[in-house]
């Protein structure tokens, strides 16, 4: 989560510019993907997915993405659940 950290008016220009650039980099990363970790991998991934589209993917305890609420590569919306398979593989993504 991105937190607000003020830049001191007494900061020298190179330091202030570095902080500003770092903040923009954090904002760009926030706009791509948010994740929730579990042992050995991701439990949830929100944002840009492995097929290049955006949505929410939930993984099982073995870190296999099994539920997708998002989009196919062709732009069509999808809600997909798999039993024993990576949901992206099952969709041919």
- Each residue of 26-69: pLDDT tens digit? 766 666 777 788 887 779 988 888 888 889 999 998 889 999 99
- Token reading at 14: 């190179």
Long-range contacts of 84-91 (CB under 8 A, 24+ apart): 87/57, 88/49, 88/50, 88/51, 88/57, 91/51
> In angstroms, how far is CA 33 from the centroid of its own chain?
2
Contact status, residue 65 vs residue 58, Cβ threshold 8 Å? yes
Please give the residue range of the domain that contains residue 53: 33-90
Confirm whether 26 is domain-assigned.
no
Confirm whether 59 is domain-assigned.
yes
Confirm whether 13 is domain-assigned.
no
Domain count, the chain: 1
- For the entire predicted model, the pTM comes to 0.64
């Amino acid at each position: 989560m991105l937190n607000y950290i003020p830049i001191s008016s007494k900061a020298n220009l190179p330091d202030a510019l570095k902080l500003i650039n770092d903040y923009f980099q954090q904002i760009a990363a926030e706009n791509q993907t948010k994740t929730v970790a579990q042992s050995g991998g991701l439990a949830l991934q929100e944002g840009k997915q492995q097929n290049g589209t955006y949505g929410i993917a939930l993984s099982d305890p073995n870190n296999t993405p099994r539920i997708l609420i998002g989009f196919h590569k062709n732009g069509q919306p999808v809600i997909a659940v798999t039993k024993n398979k990576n949901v992206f593989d099952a969709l041919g993504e």
